[in-house]
A and B are shown apart, each in its own frame.
Chain A
Amino acid sequence: MKKTPLALLLTLGLLNIPLSAFAVTAPLDLVGPVSDYKIYVTEKLDELARHTQQFTDAVKKGDLATAQKLYAPTRVYYESIEPIAELFSDLDASIDSRVDDHEQGVKAEDFTGFHRIEYSLFAENSTKGLDALADRLNKDVQDLQTRVAGLTFPPEKVVGGAAALLEEVATTKISGEEDRYSHTDLYDFQGNIDGAKKIVDLFRPHIEQQDKAFVAKVDKNFATVDKILAKYRTADGGFETYDKVKDNDRKALVGPVNTLAEDLSMMRGKLGLN
């Protein structure tokens, strides 16, 4: 239905929307950032595969200390690309499901992947009986690489990924439930945040064109989160365990994380992908 200019002006006036909000990004302008995101995800997956190999080698060698040390720095690559990784429901379940997802709990046959291995390494302080689980994790990660290589990234999932990552932080990281045996949640936390920031950075010019204030607000909240996380950095570039995070810092994270989740969920609309 065509609207007369007057009707359009009236509608805009009534809704109090500035005209600039309609300067929608041309679809072809999204090709650059969407493909750059695939390149980013591919690089992270290469890192994930390399680190998973080292991690599972340590597990299979029975080197408990090394395996414990490598657990969190390996996972972080998965966490940063979760919007794409979790599109493959079967692999997401076998690589990253938590004990709650399984009726039989820790003993469930199909409880595999990072968190099952985490349970043995940190709750039982053992590498016993993990060989098959280690091999499976390696295979699943390689399988994920192959599948992602063959996947045409849906633009709306790429852009929507920023909000999805922040929702992930809001629901599973602040509560400390993701890495309940190792308490290495802050690694995953940073991984989610970095993955979301990458998406914002890729589309930054397009969004800035129509809403500078939006980008400034998002940047400010990212900075607040980063600053709190940085307090818990350790000398080796890692993070303190989550039980060390003070109550007031946990509370201080809630606000910016929720605001980011909410704001980033508007990116799809801003880029004409709803």
Chain B
Amino acid sequence: MSNTETPQAAPPRALRWAVAGSVMLMIAAGGLFWYASKMAAAKRQHNHDEIVVNIHPHSCEPNALTVPAGRASFRIVNRSERAVEWEILDGVLVVEERENIAPGLSQVINANLQPGNYAITCGLLSNPRGTLHVTPTAASDAAAKAKPSMVAFVGPLSEFRVYLAVEGSALIKAVTALNHAIAEGDLSQAQSLYLPARAAYQRLAPAAQRLAELDNHINARADYFEKREQDPAFVGFHRIELALFAQHTLDDLAPISQRLLADVSTLKQQLLVQSLPPEQLVSIVVRNLNSLADVRAASGEEERYSHSDLNGFAANAQTAHKVVDLLRPMLSKTAAGILPTIDQALGDFDSQLNALKADGGYVGYDTVNAEQRQQIGEKARALAKALDGIDPALGLSGL
């Protein structure tokens, strides 16, 4: 075989050359690649944007960092013998972290940092923590003064939707219990379960009032119907209140309480479907407090049969607190000036209601005199006015 020269011998030789050629090319390319990555690595070492942090077995180096606010890149080099993590902490909360950096390797953490003082963990939990001081820049100062963007409201609005979900479930649970007592024919039990059910509704009232028709089935007073209390369309909480507290009877009430249970279940569902723009988060609470100040406080008409108005006012106040707490981080950043006024107004309204507490609940509203009612109304109005300052301060309507 080896002696027989075949005509096909030439192509294999050419192929061999070609293979040799491409091997050479690959070596050259490999060399170039090696050179390029060397250069890149060298460049990276000197990259001013990247802050190199070495993690040694017992410490980080450097252990005290100062960077300007904004985007920063940290290259964490693990020079210890164990896999380690590196974290930037704001109090106990992790701002950014990289876990499981293998020994001998490095990883980059990109962080967008606000001015302030942070702690950094490096490696073992017992290692001393480092410090990260983020200094304000012209850009961060401007950003702090600027009105927040729409993205900044995703957190608070999500949290408010969670609140609606949780309180919606609480309302369904409370009305289920009320419905059960009515079905069982237990009048005194039904009377006492009316209160927690109303409180649950009143926490949702600011949002529920956006759903006009459904809300009428749940919360309308007799005055809104042509034949008032005799009107067959008069259903919901106040129809039940009428029977429980004025007529002292459960007759014919079962279908009405079943209907209420169905309606509050729909309410929860609907509240979660509706999207709430940022300016409405505040304006629905303001509207709710104004109705308290303008009508409900003076007349006591809302709970006219049970006189449990204060139970509802306190629940309204809880939702006002919730909304303020959700916006507090944003307010303290860009409009810290209005926070003391708001907190003062919240506190004043609370103390006004707290002064009327009795036996784990509130006194009957029929025992609250005109002057006290006026005080309640004024405190509610002052709170509404203070909350009205949030919209311009955060630029909600301009979003």
> Which residues of A approach B to under 8 Å, CB–CB?
26-28, 30-32, 34-35, 38-39, 42, 86-93, 97, 100-104, 108, 110, 152-155, 167-168, 171-172, 272-273
Contacts and interface: CB of A to CB of B under 8 A. Distances in A.
B155 A93 contact: no
A35 B150 contact: no
A124 B184 CA distance: 57
Interface stretch (B25-33, B81-89, B173-181): B81-89
A176 to B, nearest CB: 13
Given A87-B94, A89-B94, A153-B159, A31 B154 contact: yes
A250 B100 CA distance: 19
Interface in B147-168: 149-151, 153-159, 161-162, 165
Interface of B: 58, 82-83, 85, 87, 89, 92-94, 97, 99-100, 121, 124-127, 149-151, 153-159, 161-162, 165, 272, 275-277, 326, 329
Given A27-B153, A35-B161, A155-B154, A110 B121 contact: no
Contact of A103 (B93, B121, B124): B124
A105 to B, nearest CB: 10
A123 to B, nearest CB: 19
Nearest to B93: A87
Contacts of A171: 83, 99-100
Contacts of B150: 26-28
A89 B161 contact: no
Given A28-B157, A89-B87, A171-B100, 14 more contacts: A28-B277, A31-B154, A31-B157, A32-B161, A34-B155, A38-B159, A86-B97, A88-B92, A97-B125, A100-B82, A104-B126, A153-B155, A155-B151, A155-B155
Nearest to A86: B94
A102 B85 CA distance: 12
A152 B275 contact: no
B151 A38 contact: no
A266 B157 CA distance: 24
A34 B156 CA distance: 10
B92 A152 contact: no
B125 A31 contact: no
B326 A152 contact: yes
A273 B154 CA distance: 11
Contacts of B93: 87-89
Given A89-B87, A100-B82, A155-B151, A35 B162 contact: yes
5 contacts: A31-B275, A101-B124, A152-B156, A155-B151, A168-B99
A172 B89 contact: no
Nearest to B83: A100
Contact of B159 (A30, A101, A152): A152
Contacts of B159: 35, 38, 152-153
- Chain B CB within 10 Å, residue with most, of A39, A92, A97: A39
Contacts of B277: 28
A35 B165 CA distance: 9
Contacts of A101: 85, 124-125
A76 to B, nearest CB: 19
A88 B95 CA distance: 10
B195 to A, nearest CB: 25
Given A155-B158, A172-B100, A273-B151, A90 B92 contact: yes
Nearest to A33: B158
A88 B162 CA distance: 20
Residue of A35, A100, A103, A167 ringed by the most chain B CB atoms within 10 A: A35
Contacts of B154: 27-28, 30-31, 34, 155
Closest 9 CB pairs of A and B: A35-B161, A34-B158, A171-B100, A35-B158, A27-B150, A152-B155, A155-B154, A31-B157, A27-B151
A239 B153 CA distance: 42
B144 to A, nearest CB: 18
A103 to B, nearest CB: 5
A32 B154 CA distance: 9
A144 to B, nearest CB: 11
Which of B126, B277, B326 has the most C-beta atoms of chain A within 10 angstroms of its own C-beta?
Answer: B126
A89 B89 contact: yes
Nearest to A272: B151
Contacts of A155: 151, 154-155, 158
Nearest to B153: A27
Contacts of A90: 92
A110 B127 CA distance: 12
A31 B158 contact: yes
Contact of B126 (A42, A102, A172): A102
Contacts of B99: 167-168, 171-172
Contacts of B156: 152
A28 B151 CA distance: 8
A153 B158 contact: yes
A130 B62 CA distance: 39
Nearest to A90: B92
A103 B201 CA distance: 54
A39 B126 CA distance: 35
Contacts of A39: 162, 165
Contact of A152 (B89, B97, B158, B272): B158
B124 A102 contact: yes
